[in-house]
Chains A and B, each alone.
Chain A
Amino acid sequence: KQLMAMEITQFLLAAQSADARVRTEAEGSLKQFQEQNLPQFLLSLSFELANNEKPSESRRLAGILLKNSLDAKDSGRKELLVKQWCAIDLALKSQIKELLLRTIGSSVPEARHTSAQVIAKVASIEVPQKQWPELVGSLLSNMTQPESPAHLKQSTLETLGYVCEEISHHDLVQDEVNSVLTAVVQGMNQAANNAEVRLAATKALLNALDFSQTNFENEMERSYIMKMVCETACAKEAVIRQAAFECLVSIASTYYEVLEQYMQTLFELTAKAVKEDEESVALQAVEFWSTICDEEIDRQEYDSPDTGDSSPPHSGFIEKALPHLVPMLLETLEKQEEDQDHEDDVWNISMAGGTCLGLVARTVGDGIVPLVMPFVEVNIRKPNWRSREAATYAFGSILEGPTIDKLAPMVAAGLEFLLTATKDENNHVRDTTAWTLSRIFEFLHTPDSGFSVISPQNLPRIVGVLLESMKDVPNVAEKVCGAIYNLAQGYEDAGASSSLLSPYLTEIIQHLLAAAERTDGPESKLRSASYETLNEVVRCSNLLEASGIIGQLLPVIMVKLGQTMDLQVVSTEDREKQAELQASLCGVLQVIIQKLSSKDETKPIIMQNADQIMMLFLRVFGCHSSSVHEEAMLAIGALAYATGAEFAKYMPELFKYLQTGLQNFEEYQVCSITVGVIGDICRALDDKILPFCDQIMSLLIQNLQSDALHRSVKPPIFSCFGDIALAIGGHFERYVATALQIMQGAAQVCAQMDTLDEELMDYGNQLRRSIFEAYSGILQGFKDAKAELMVPYAQHLLQFVELVSKDSLRDESVTKAAVAAMGDLADVVGEKIKPLFSNFTFCGEFLSECLDSEDEDLKDTARWTQGMIARLMVT
């Protein structure tokens, strides 16, 4: 029995009509169809996509709608879609899958491409659940059938690539992996296949590489794959060469350990590409070396702490290739684009080369200096701007990695030259010069640790030059901001020398404010760079000397923020611009509040202005009806800390925005920041937060239970439980049952997480830590009054700690939180749960593991917990 699909071509075409009314109506109909009968809807879309008679426009949209019915960026939505798909009748699903597999053989390229993508989406759901066992076989048979047309092979390879991208290599058995890999590598064979097939095969290999652990361990298979990739890297077609180099990049990071025997070939191949190939290919060739650097830097960093673990092998490829690699990279530096844009998203061969040079410097340290300096010295005074810019860029790139001893004399000798070069006739040269100065201040200006290229003698000249260059064209001014940023940061916590910058603060701040006002640059880049630099200057200043200046800056920023309310807002763009400006100004206020409230002497400045500042923030909120302003919220957190219990008076007005913030699932960062600010307010208000707690707790609980909220917000919410409990103490009683139930549920989720998914494990660690923080807050909150309420949950807490203690992948911070919560339990609940502690024998072992830790903080916590448990056992 075959289900009848509905004819939906008209709707699909109408939904792309230029006439808005027609479009809206069609979209409505499609939506209605989808909601009323999802299985039929999907089937109809599949028919549309599979049918060669249909117009390509309707087929394209059908494919997109199918894809969007199976996958979404938002994790909550994705989960829902997966559930819906799984609920569909098996027969109907296999009909859809049949249609999709048929479509990759279509004569219409676009339909093949789309269905390849949709197949991968279905595979991502069904292959892990072993519900589409025939998929791989079916695809492979397309490759082995002698009569298969080239276009079928091409889309089959494309499909295989996408499927490999979607699923994990644990989802296939080794036999399947072998077959897939064989098919893909054969598809790369130049003699047997046309360009499209080879391109598809090469791209598929890129995704299949992750599956090939076993094959790469076998030298014969590995060498065969490497030979095919290297051959493909010399293909006639640039796109294929590019794809092959992308494979090499991926191999460099995944199979670094086994590359030794191929390095000579790979060097020649990449050097040739960098020298003479098209830029898109050359970029990948440079990327290959950058990736090798990444691997070696990782291994070096892994090596340095004496953990005793066997670190992965370091083959020193960069060190060995250095004499040839560096000249190759230096050569790229002179290939600048004539009218190079100074946007961050510009990426070309000279930038890639400089970036790689920086990585090489970090990999080999001092060794790079003698190889680069002659190039710098020869080129930096040449009449051709490309030479001067390349020389400066090379110099700036190698400032991180080599020792200060090695760099200091050169930098000292070159500093005056660079200061003069800020007046170079060429914009690019000035840009790179300012950037190089900012790198010098970043790496060679740390008075805190005893070294700085800046002395009281040359500081006036440096500040003078920088401030003068602040008036240069926007892209240069922006780099100068970076230089001032690093200059200021060096003086943070620098004791007496932190005063050195104090005399210039007024002038620096004036120039930064002026730069922020400029309108001659693209978008708001200079403005945001100016304000962030201003923030760093304020943050790192010597407060006792700068308090007057910061005190004067405060009203200036307040006025500016006030003025943003009067901006004319007509379009969405106006609204965005206003919000951006407000973001910058709220950011400055946040830093000023934090700085001034850090000392008793200056705190009154904030207290005196608190009412007005708060009013401004409320007005900022008022400007944006749909959402809550993230930066304003962050600044409010700082204000709550500064004002302490006084903050209570703002709560009636602020509260609705806190609620809105908590409900903003779309912009989950806003939600997350709001959760954090509620924590700040709890600490400021203590039990004065009580009247708002019912509503806050309800929202927090709803958020935790919602699939629609980004998961990254959930850990902060559990921590916030702890904050609230600490603030209201025994009053938390009314929430304890619900809160604990959810905490136990979340703990369960942690226990079932896929330990191979690194990103998920990272989340799991955050979640576990936050659950323990919630336990700690609730326990300590109940300490004086309601300790007995926690008796029923003691067992669960200890089980959870036990589980965590047995997880070798746990983060140190999770360990700390777990040990602390265990101590809190012993400290607070005491006597009644004594037998539990005797039953959980893991405690002793876990504690002694913690006591052996290198982390002093963890050791302290473990000692305290040990004391709490000992006290319990002795009495």
Chain B
Amino acid sequence: MADVGSASNRRDPIKSSVGNVAGQRRRQQAVTVAKERRESLVRAKRLCRVGTNGGDDEDARVENEMMIDEEQPVLESQTVKAVEELKSAVQSQGKGAMQKRVTALRELRRLLSKSEFPPIDAALTAGAIPLLVQCLSFGSPDEQLLESAWCLTNIAAGKPEETKALLPALPLLVAHLGEKSSAPVAEQCAWAIGNVAGEGEELRNVLLSQGALPPLARMIFPDKGSTVRTAAWALSNLIKGPESKAAAQLVRVDGIVDAILRHLKKTDEEIATEIAWIVVYLSALSDIATSMLLKGGILQLLVERLATSNSLQLLIPVLRSLGNFVSVDPKAMLTILVGGQNTEDTDIPDQISENVTNVLAKCLRSEHRVLKKEAAWVLSNIAAGSIEHKRMIHSSEAMPLLLRLLSTSPFDIKKEVAYVLGNLCVESAEGGDARPRIIQEHLVSIVSGGCLRGFIDLVRSPDIEAARLGLQFIELVLRGMPNGEGSKLVEGEDGIDAMERFQFHENEELRVMANSLVDKYFGEDYGINE
């Protein structure tokens, strides 16, 4: 303070030595580096989702939405970085290179598994596919193959064009399905292929042409394990049609039918579920397969599953398979339903056969719309069978359920139920196009159960098939109800109005049918007798 001023107006000369400033700058840099490390550590913690109190699904859902909004850009930039890392890892040689590749792959896989909306696009744009393909090359260590296939699996789970990006990887993925691969590697490859096959016909054809089917099929031969389930799932995706050649190819694989039957017999529901889907497609697409499976006694196995399982996932394909079999070969069902009667190569205990309708009734009662619909569909196929079938259903506990479903359920189920009820009221027309013979007993009880309104609703529906079904049933009522009370009943439910809508309908069949019914039963003479 003594020398106020004289020293205060001294500034640093422009010409100064490098030493002092540089040292200060270096120390400052060290502090800055530490600061950056702290920030990145906290950042990592903030983004770490594991261990948070995400209990129920609701939480998880909200969290995931958050992820897209808040963290997607971060995730994407991390992904780009991970792909860069992988690139340098793939290029590096020598000691430690392998570990580096695995580390880089693992990081990428972690990012691609991270959220509901993995940063696939970012990975693809950054050029991940060629690198991943390179990591799949023969002779690579299992860990590397596994991580690489895992990354591809998650990429294939993305949007269609993202799935398509796997094309260059498919030959190697297929190659690693073989027996020489370790189980985890083969399974991961199967998973990736399953995702690709699920995308569509075009990619399925590519996979088939590259020989994916036989090794996948052989992967389901063992008795248990996640590999079987994954392979079965992939296989079902591969054969799902609508073209039938894959299904046909599958049946030609030696031992496949045995394997399918064996898995359906075993108790593992998860494997049985995937196998049942294979059965669904086989029974829908391949006659040879259908007959081979029937021969192998598949119906009995399916019914057993139906009776004993509570798993929705399993019941759906089982029901659908059953329906397929019944529609293809109604006689087969007969063998189940009419258990006591011996047929040549099945011997089904009565107990099970009686249970079938009750099991289906259980499905009708279920909360799940899909299950209800599938069950109704199976019942309609059964109801199209012999008089014994019809009697059995008519006397089962399914009847009140069907009547209620006709009035209360959504349209698609309603339609299936209408088929069942309609079929119950007529004898199956064996050849010839004569009008079917009415089973009056069934008709009277069903109509008195209050179903007419439901059918008349169907008449009003824009769905041609449903309308036809409604009209057919009205015809039965008008023709078959005793004492001619049919016309009154139909009129009482506004049936005339419903039919008159068809007077100028564009569909000729329905127009003729409706007009002739109105003419015949409600013509000029109608009401005179009163």
Partner of B1, one of A165, A283, A435: A165
Q: Known A594-B33, A830-B53, A875-B59; judge A347-B10 contact (CB<8 A).
A: yes
Let me know if B62 is at the binding interface, CB within 8 A: yes
Q: Which of B4-30 contact A (CB under 8 A)?
A: 4-6, 8-20, 22-23, 26-27, 30
Which residues on A sit within 8 Å (CB–CB) of B434?
A: none
Size of chain A's interface in residues, with CB distance under 8 A? 84
Q: Please tell me which stretch of A79-87, A172-180, A634-642, A699-707 contacts chain B, meaning at least 4 of its Cβ atoms lie within 8 angstroms of it.
A: A634-642
Would you give the shortest CB distance from B72 to chain A, in whole angstroms? 10
Partner of A875, one of B13, B18, B58: B58
Are A590 and B30 in contact (CB-based, < 8 A)? yes
**Chain A 135-174 near chain B by CB (<8 Å), digits 1 or 0:** 0000000000000000000000000011001000000000
Let me know if B2 is at the binding interface, CB within 8 A: yes
Partner of A528, one of B23, B59, B62: B23
In Å, the complex CA distance between A615 and B10 comes to 44
Residue among B6, B26, B37 facing the most chain A CB atoms (10 A cut-off): B26
Which residues on A sit within 8 Å (CB–CB) of B46?
A: 780, 820, 823-824, 827, 864
Are B4 and A587 in contact (CB-based, < 8 A)? no
Partner of B30, one of A638, A863, A875: A638
Let me know if A676 is at the binding interface, CB within 8 A: yes
Let me know if B69 is at the binding interface, CB within 8 A: yes
Q: Known A207-B4, A637-B34, A780-B46; judge A354-B15 contact (CB<8 A).
A: yes
Let me know if A296 is at the binding interface, CB within 8 A: no
Partner of B19, one of A528, A773, A783: A528
Return the chain B residue nearest A676 by Cβ. Answer: B34
Let me know if A591 is at the binding interface, CB within 8 A: yes
Q: Which of A284-336 contact B (CB under 8 A)?
A: 284, 287, 290
Let me know if B368 is at the binding interface, CB within 8 A: no
Let me know if B528 is at the binding interface, CB within 8 A: no
Are B69 and A867 in contact (CB-based, < 8 A)? yes
Would you give the shortest CB distance from B136 to chain A, in whole angstroms? 24
Which residues on A sit within 8 Å (CB–CB) of B4?
A: 161-162, 165, 203, 206-207
In Å, the complex CA distance between A634 and B100 comes to 30
Are B74 and A287 in contact (CB-based, < 8 A)? no
Return the chain B residue nearest A857 by Cβ. Answer: B39
Which residues on A sit within 8 Å (CB–CB) of B33?
A: 594
Q: Known A206-B4, A776-B42, A780-B42; judge A532-B14 contact (CB<8 A).
A: no
Which residues on B sit within 8 Å (CB–CB) of A673?
A: 27
Q: Which of A525-567 contact B (CB under 8 A)?
A: 525, 528-529, 532-533, 535-536
Partner of B45, one of A243, A355, A726, A830: A726
Which residues on A sit within 8 Å (CB–CB) of B70?
A: 863-864, 866-867
Partner of B100, one of A161, A485, A600: A600
Which residues on A sit within 8 Å (CB–CB) of B1?
A: 117, 120, 162, 165
In Å, the complex CA distance between A641 and B41 comes to 13
Let me know if A397 is at the binding interface, CB within 8 A: yes
Q: Which of A384-401 contact B (CB under 8 A)?
A: 393, 396-397
Q: Known A535-B22, A680-B34; judge A355-B41 contact (CB<8 A).
A: no
Which residues on B sit within 8 Å (CB–CB) of A525?
A: 17, 19
Would you give the shortest CB distance from A555 to chain B, in whole angstroms? 21
Would you give the shortest CB distance from B9 to chain A, in whole angstroms? 5
Let me know if B66 is at the binding interface, CB within 8 A: yes
Let me know if B245 is at the binding interface, CB within 8 A: no
Would you give the shortest CB distance from B24 to chain A, in whole angstroms? 10
In Å, the complex CA distance between A162 and B37 comes to 47
Are A533 and B18 in contact (CB-based, < 8 A)? yes
Are B42 and A777 in contact (CB-based, < 8 A)? yes
Which residues on A sit within 8 Å (CB–CB) of B15?
A: 351, 354-355, 393, 396, 432, 435
Q: Which of A834-875 contact B (CB under 8 A)?
A: 860, 863-864, 866-868, 870-871, 874-875
Would you give the shortest CB distance from A668 to chain B, in whole angstroms? 14
Are B27 and A634 in contact (CB-based, < 8 A)? yes
Q: Which of B160-209 contact A (CB under 8 A)?
A: none
Are B11 and A478 in contact (CB-based, < 8 A)? no
In Å, the complex CA distance between A479 and B12 comes to 16
Let me know if B52 is at the binding interface, CB within 8 A: yes
Which residues on B sit within 8 Å (CB–CB) of A203?
A: 4-5
In Å, the complex CA distance between A479 and B34 comes to 31
Let me know if A61 is at the binding interface, CB within 8 A: no
Let me know if A249 is at the binding interface, CB within 8 A: yes
Let me know if B63 is at the binding interface, CB within 8 A: yes
Let me know if B464 is at the binding interface, CB within 8 A: no
In Å, the complex CA distance between A600 and B103 comes to 12
In Å, the complex CA distance between A776 and B45 comes to 10
Let me know if A674 is at the binding interface, CB within 8 A: no
**Chain A 334-353 near chain B by CB (<8 Å), digits 1 or 0:** 00000000001011000110
Let me know if A719 is at the binding interface, CB within 8 A: yes
Which residues on B sit within 8 Å (CB–CB) of A39?
A: none
Would you give the shortest CB distance from B496 to chain A, in whole angstroms? 55
Which residues on A sit within 8 Å (CB–CB) of B69?
A: 863, 867
Which residues on B sit within 8 Å (CB–CB) of A777?
A: 42
Are A485 and B18 in contact (CB-based, < 8 A)? yes
Let me know if B437 is at the binding interface, CB within 8 A: no
Are A587 and B23 in contact (CB-based, < 8 A)? yes
Partner of A351, one of B13, B37, B52: B13
Would you give the shortest CB distance from B44 to chain A, in whole angstroms? 9
Would you give the shortest CB distance from B270 to chain A, in whole angstroms? 32
In Å, the complex CA distance between A868 and B23 comes to 42
Q: Which of A802-840 contact B (CB under 8 A)?
A: 820, 823-824, 827, 830-831
Are B62 and A874 in contact (CB-based, < 8 A)? yes
Would you give the shortest CB distance from B85 to chain A, in whole angstroms? 10
Q: Known A784-B51, A824-B46; judge A481-B18 contact (CB<8 A).
A: yes
Are A726 and B5 in contact (CB-based, < 8 A)? no
Let me know if A246 is at the binding interface, CB within 8 A: yes
Let me know if A482 is at the binding interface, CB within 8 A: yes
Let me know if B488 is at the binding interface, CB within 8 A: no
In Å, the complex CA distance between A52 and B2 comes to 22
Let me know if B295 is at the binding interface, CB within 8 A: no
Let me know if A198 is at the binding interface, CB within 8 A: no
Q: Known A162-B1, A535-B26, A679-B34; judge A344-B66 contact (CB<8 A).
A: no
Are B18 and A532 in contact (CB-based, < 8 A)? yes
Which residues on B sit within 8 Å (CB–CB) of A830?
A: 53
Which residues on A sit within 8 Å (CB–CB) of B31?
A: 676
Are B18 and A529 in contact (CB-based, < 8 A)? yes
Let me know if A447 is at the binding interface, CB within 8 A: no
In Å, the complex CA distance between A780 and B6 comes to 53
Let me know if B38 is at the binding interface, CB within 8 A: yes
Q: Which of A650-702 contact B (CB under 8 A)?
A: 673, 676, 679-680, 683
Partner of A533, one of B22, B27, B37, B100: B22
Q: Known A347-B10, A435-B15, A864-B70; judge A536-B45 contact (CB<8 A).
A: no
Are B59 and A482 in contact (CB-based, < 8 A)? no
Let me know if B71 is at the binding interface, CB within 8 A: yes
Are B26 and A587 in contact (CB-based, < 8 A)? yes
Let me know if A764 is at the binding interface, CB within 8 A: no
In Å, the complex CA distance between A290 and B20 comes to 23
Would you give the shortest CB distance from A679 to chain B, in whole angstroms? 6
Which residues on A sit within 8 Å (CB–CB) of B18?
A: 438, 478-479, 481-482, 485, 529, 532-533
Partner of A591, one of B26, B48, B58: B26
In Å, the complex CA distance between A870 and B34 comes to 32
In Å, the complex CA distance between A617 and B1 comes to 41
18 residue pairs of the A-B complex, CB under 8 angstroms, read A120-B1, A246-B8, A287-B9, A354-B13, A432-B15, A435-B15, A482-B17, A532-B18, A590-B26, A590-B30, A676-B31, A777-B42, A824-B46, A827-B52, A863-B69, A867-B66, A871-B63, A875-B58
Apart from A777-B42, A867-B71, what are 13 other A-B pairs with CB-CB below 8 Å? A113-B2, A165-B1, A165-B4, A207-B4, A284-B9, A438-B18, A478-B17, A676-B30, A676-B31, A676-B34, A824-B46, A860-B74, A875-B58
- Can you list the 6 inter-chain pairs with the closest CB atoms, starting with the nearest? A867-B70, A532-B22, A482-B18, A529-B19, A528-B19, A780-B45
